[in-house]
Amino acid sequence: MDLASLLQLAAPVLLRATLLTLGFAVAAMVLGLALGALIALVRVLEVPGLQWLMRGYVSLFRGTPLLVQVFVIYYGLPSVGIEFSPLVAGVLALTLNVGAYLSESLRGAMVGIGQGQWMAGASLGLTRVQTLRHVVAPQALRMAVPSLSNSLIGLIKDTSLISVIAVTELMLATKELISTTFQPFPLYLAAAGIYWVLSLSFEQVQRWMEKRLAFPH
């Protein structure tokens, strides 16, 4: 099979798989960011009891491979009566994993804001929560954008691990095409190129966000 025929055959399959991969990544990004923000707030505000629980969660999901987490959620949980479809299990694993990393990025940025900001809020009669919301969080978000973006770009590539639970995202679709065409080199290159384009697109979003959130001079 010549290259033109191979690309004509592979293009529709890879396009559908790319859209599914992008959907996985965006869903996990949104949910992971919400989860990470909640965990960061709990830990910064030192909510009794919950902060230790959140610390354990972050340690667990940062300290174990994503592939193992996928297996535990999809293959392990049914043994205790909890079962998810491949799509739900994939999004859940990605969300829990990236949420742990995003929480540390956000928490680190909040902690990096000087104590003077907290004291200024208190002097204005703001509670600790109000100071966090109106004074600390906006500044921390600006500081955290590069780190958050790196985690989210990494998430795009991590979606390839979901292929192990039979979700036809980009990597599994590529493998299935190879099994029928016996053309691994051009197809793997095509998949790599798609991942690269997606990562470059998110890098552009990162630069745009950095400009929008930049401190005024």
Segment 99-126, tens digit of pLDDT: 999 999 888 888 877 777 778 787 878 8
Mean pLDDT check: name the lowest of 94-98, 109-113, 174-178. 109-113
> What pLDDT is stored for residue 214 in this prediction?
65
In the chain, the amino acid numbered 154 is G
Per-residue tokens: 24: 């996985």
Rounded Cα distance, 57 and 189, in Å:
37
In the chain, the amino acid numbered 97 is N
Segment 23-58, tens digit of pLDDT: 888 899 899 999 999 999 899 888 888 989 999 999
Rounded Cα distance, 84 and 101, in Å:
23
Rounded Cα distance, 44 and 140, in Å:
12
Higher local confidence (pLDDT), 55 or 1: 55
Other CB atoms within a 10 A radius of the CB of residue 8 amount to 11
Rounded Cα distance, 112 and 37, in Å:
15
Regarding pTM above 0.75, the answer is yes
